[in-house]
């Protein structure tokens, strides 16, 4: 029995492997620490992420010689490659977006990944700006508000600058300036949540599309905890259509790429 734990800035993603079967779960750091104290019966424990050291410090003494610390970037692309392959999708070459607290963008070729770009804009931006602007940092609450909002009351659109663009469905939806609307003071919490989500997804989408075009790769795989929500996926697909890139893909267990990749990478070493 083996376990991979990816202790990130906000959440810990966990993959348990029993008799070849994978079990997935997610918890906060306190919950992961509680779990770590109970792992005495495991054959191997693979840890990755920025808070892996916190978990290692709470493992039972009899596990100390069975713990493997894995580089989190290497673990993430290794896990994504394995998931693509197991889902029967092409995995020869693709752009991989690690959408977590911040965001890293990799190019993956023949199972080997290279960090090509990144941004400090990510899930932490989404929850942090929401805390300041609408009084909540709860992810599900933000998504619910955003689903009912109209970001056009917050963002300055291309069609606001060029009236002729209103006749174009594409140009009418392109952002000229995030949070640049002159009507922003009339925006509701729902509108602001929608605009915050757009700012984060749009930043990541533009960067990842630029990487894909520069490296002549068609598929962009979005993974990481925020990518599990349908509204986040919908926004990526909408932006892909607007920006001329229709190949955004999402993994069934995308948030767990790092945890699974820790096991895969650890077993190879």
Contact of 131 with 137, CB cutoff 8 Å = yes
* Cα separation values, 21 from 28, 213, 260, Å: 24, 37, 12
72 catalytic per annotation: yes
**Which residues, including other chains, have CB under 8 Å from residue 68's CB and lie 6 or more apart?**
44, 45, 46, 47, 262, 266, 269
Q: Residue holding tokens 């999708």?
A: 89
- DSSP strand pairing (2-7 vs 12-18): antiparallel
How far is Cα 207 from Cα 62, in angstroms, rounded to an integer? 45
Contact yes or no for 36/5 (Cβ under 8 A): yes
Instruction: Let me know how many helices (H) and strands (E) the chain has, helices first.
Output: 9, 12
Name the active-site residue from 72, 74, 82, 202. Answer: 72
d(CA 192, CA 196): 6
d(CA 91, CA 76): 14
Supply the residues annotated as catalytic.
72
């Amino acid at each position: 029995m083996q376990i991979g734990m990816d202790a990130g800035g906000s959440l810990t993603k966990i993959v348990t492997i029993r008799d070849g079967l994978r079990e997935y779960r997610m918890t906060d750091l306190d919950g992961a620490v509680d779990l770590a104290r109970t792992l005495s019966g495991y054959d191997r424990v693979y840890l990755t992420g920025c808070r892996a050291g916190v978990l290692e410090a709470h493992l039972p003494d009899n596990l100390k010689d069975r713990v493997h610390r894995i580089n989190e970037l290497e673990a993430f692309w290794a896990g994504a490659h394995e998931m693509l392959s197991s889902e029967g999708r092409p995995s020869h070459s693709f752009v991989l977006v690690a959408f977590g607290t911040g965001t890293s963008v990799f190019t993956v070729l023949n199972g080997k990944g290279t960090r090509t770009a990144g941004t400090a804009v990510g899930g932490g931006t989404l929850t942090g700006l929401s805390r300041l602007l609408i009084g909540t940092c709860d992810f599900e609450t933000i998504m619910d508000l955003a689903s009912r909002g109209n970001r056009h009351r917050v963002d300055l659109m291309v069609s606001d600058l060029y009236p002729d663009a209103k006749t174009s469905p594409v140009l009418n939806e392109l952002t000229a300036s995030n949070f640049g609307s002159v009507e922003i003071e009339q925006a509701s919490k729902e509108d602001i949540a929608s605009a915050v989500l757009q700012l984060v997804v749009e930043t990541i989408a533009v960067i990842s599309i630029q990487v894909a075009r520069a490296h002549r790769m068609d598929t962009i795989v979005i993974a990481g905890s925020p990518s599990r929500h349908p509204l986040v996926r919908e926004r990526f697909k909408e932006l892909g259509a607007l920006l001329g890139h229709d190949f955004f893909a999402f993994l069934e267990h995308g948030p767990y790429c790092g945890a699974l990749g820790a096991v895969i990478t650890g077993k190879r070493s």
